[in-house]
Copies of this chain bind each other. A is one copy, B any other.
Amino acid sequence: MPTHEFKVEMTCSGCSNAVTRILTKKLGEGAKFDVNLDDKSVTIDSDLSMEELKEMLEKSGKAVTYIGVK
């Protein structure tokens, strides 16, 4: 399963918690992802397309940039 990396404009733990909550809700309990506030990165192991994942992250209202497959 590919690991997709995104940059998400998160500036406090409230931001990163919100992104974590969205991904848990959308991807389900067993999902493998990592939200890192320090380097504003989000990595997601998923067979979903980059577009689908990006749209999911953008629901947070934050600016999202796709970095690539790790």
Give me the interface of A with B, judged by CB distance under 8 Å. 9-15, 17-22, 25, 59-62
Contacts and interface: CB of A to CB of B under 8 A. Distances in A.
Contacts of A19: 61
Contacts of A61: 17-22, 25, 59-60
| Copies of this protein chain in the complex | 2
Nearest to A12: B12
A13 B14 contact: no
Nearest to A21: B61
Nearest to A13: B11
A59 B61 CA distance: 8
In order of increasing CB-CB distance, the 6 nearest A-B pairs are: A18-B61, A11-B14, A12-B12, A22-B61, A21-B61, A14-B15
